[in-house]
Amino acid sequence: MVYCSALNCQNATSGVYKNSTVTFYGFPLHNKPLLKQWIHNMGREMGTPSKHQRLCSKHFEDSSFEIDPLKIRKNRRLLKEAVPKKFILVSCTSVLDGDPV
């Protein structure tokens, strides 16, 4: 099973969070400047991702994908220079003031 590595994203390839409308892409481990940009945009403190970690297609703009006019490929191909830009970086937390009830 593959999970998306982005914070606040629960997309996966199977199980409760299976989402058949998304595809998953590995980090550009061999392109250090691009990898740094990916990690920065994720807003997540992390070291170098493993070769097994993935981001789902929901974090990329449509322009990040190669256009296949004949729709021969089942999955969309991510452009080599693509950078993920769509993240939810704020989580909902409540702050309590005063004495607990």
Residue pLDDT, tens place only, 79-89: 999 999 999 87
Judge contact between 14 and 45, C-beta under 8 A: no
Specify the pLDDT at position 72.
66
Mind listing the pLDDT tens digit for each residue in 6-22?
Answer: 988 999 999 988 988 89
Question: How many Cα atoms are found within 13 Å in the side-chain-facing hemisphere of 31?
Answer: 12
All residue ranges of the chain with pLDDT < 70 are 72-74, 90-101
